[in-house]
Structure 1
Amino acid sequence: MTLRTTTILVATGLLALGACAPAMDGTGTAPGAGMTRTQQGALAGAAVGALYGANRDDDSSGRGRDAARGAILGAAAGAVAGNILDRQAAALEQSISNPNVQIVNHGSYLQVILPEGILFATGSAAVSGPAQTDLYAVARNLNQYPNSRVEVIGHTDNTGSAALNQDLSQRRAQSVAGILAAAGVNQGRLAATGRGFNQPIASNATDAGRAQNRRVEILIRPTQ
């Protein structure tokens, strides 16, 4: 089987997977927007697997066969990973009591966004009691799904000097990571980083925007 023929077959398979999802409804929604993470993971895995399989050896004698096998294995692995993230995100949503905590499933990783207002007093890096309860819930979830690395990232608004905000964001990230570790998360999985005011998600020109920028994010990235 030629590489071109196999590429067509793989593309056909990808289209078949995509057909499981709702089609674009004419509102400008991007293809795949209505798909589950399992379906998106299968599509991505199939594409990566096909490319890997097609290029796994130096000659082209078995490249078509390898591309097809790679697509099948990649689709299966991607579907499993997407399904796990779906289930982990749903479990997090059920276990966290504060409605101001946002959980975003990006398909390849989960993002937990905790506003400053539920975590810290102004200028402080000491985590409040109610927020600790939710962080313990996050820790239980991380222990239930152990195959991931966890990045805890602190952010501030632009009030004050860059040095002051960098230090505060680092201490806050370390405080959150410390609670996750105290709740049983393996420290080898955890990394704490302060970004100061370098990554705003809203305008610092308004009170509401600055409040959004003052946050800690927990990024959960699967390792298998």
Structure 2
Amino acid sequence: MTRLFKPATAAATLIALALSACTTNPQTGQTEISKTALYGLGGAAACGLVGALTHGGKGARNSALACGAIGAGIGGYMDYQEKQLREKLKNSQIAVERIGDQLKLSLPDNITFPTNGYQLNARAQKPLGDIAGVLVQFPDTSITVAGHTDSSGAAAYNQTLSEKRAQSVTEYLQGQGVNSVRVRTMGYGAAQPVASNASDSGKARNRRVEIMITPQQMG
């Protein structure tokens, strides 16, 4: 006896699978998209369905874009994060750089910290909040927050300052819902300059915090 394929049953199955790929962060209430759970589910179609169920037509469109990238693999997953970060940070001084499948965000100290200080400036909170929102939406990445200084002053002082600045950024991201398990914090002092310390402009470029976003391996 031939068993008939029932569209309603198939749709219900797809709904169940798609919904299982999206979870809600209890701290932020935002929907998180797991690339591992969605990989091979038909990406855009599955997530478009999730978006329609949870947020209506606009949600269907946005979710389809995000999960279509997931269906393309790690590169697509990072492509969509890059797009989101560039859009969110376009009016800030934070640079977004793509390095293979990694993303590097460079935060200059003139918008993040007072001179020789490690407490975040108020003006840094909005862009850091935007960064955190994207990181929460895409949980399948590891994050390294690294502090850097120029070469002025004693090496030990610079090392401590770089560590404290990186820790301040890390704590803010975690306060916005980023899982602490994903984040590693480092301080490099003046050991990794990106410009010459012979000029004031070079020193300014070297005083920064970098956030490196690295995709986790597909499960």
Unaligned runs of 5+ in 2: 1-69
TM-score norm. by structure 1 comes to 0.64
- Asked if structure 1 preserves the Cα contact closer than 8 Å seen for 2:92 and 2:127, the reply is no
The correspondence of residues 71-86 of structure 1 with structure 2, limited to 5 A, is: 79-86=72-79
Mapped pair 1:103 → 2:96: yes
Secondary structure of the residue aligned to 2:73 is helix
Aligned length: 148
Mapped pair 1:131 → 2:110: no
In structure 2, the partner of 1:26 is none
- Asked if structure 2 preserves the Cα contact closer than 8 Å seen for 1:98 and 1:134, the reply is no
Residues in 2 aligned to 1:207 and 1:175: alpha-carbon distance in whole angstroms: 25
Change (3 A) 1:148 1:205: same
Mapped pair 1:205 → 2:198: yes
Mapped pair 1:195 → 2:191: no
Secondary structure of the residue aligned to 1:218 is strand
- Asked if structure 1 preserves the Cα contact closer than 8 Å seen for 2:129 and 2:173, the reply is yes
Deviation at 1:218, TM superposition (A): 0.2
Deviation at 1:78, TM superposition (A): 10
- Asked if structure 2 preserves the Cα contact closer than 8 Å seen for 1:115 and 1:216, the reply is yes
For residues 124-152 of structure 1, give each alpha carbon's deviation from its aligned partner in whole angstroms, at most 9, with x where no partner exists: 00111121111111111001110011000
Secondary structure of the residue aligned to 1:146 is coil
TM-score norm. by structure 2 comes to 0.65
Runs of 4+ with >6 A deviation: none
2:83 pairs with one of 69, 72, 90: 90
- Asked if structure 2 preserves the Cα contact closer than 8 Å seen for 1:170 and 1:194, the reply is yes
CA RMSD of aligned residues (A): 1.5
Instruction: State the identity as a percent.
Output: 43
Deviation at 1:96, TM superposition (A): 2.1
Partner amino acid, structure 2, of 1:153: A
Residues in 2 aligned to 1:104 and 1:161: alpha-carbon distance in whole angstroms: 30
Deviation at 1:99, TM superposition (A): 3.2
Mapped pair 1:219 → 2:212: yes
- Asked if structure 2 preserves the Cα contact closer than 8 Å seen for 1:85 and 1:105, the reply is no
The correspondence of residues 25-174 of structure 1 with structure 2, limited to 5 A, is: 79-96=72-89, 98-174=91-167
Residues in 2 aligned to 1:107 and 1:84: alpha-carbon distance in whole angstroms: 12
Residues in 2 aligned to 1:119 and 1:96: alpha-carbon distance in whole angstroms: 14
Partner amino acid, structure 1, of 2:100: G
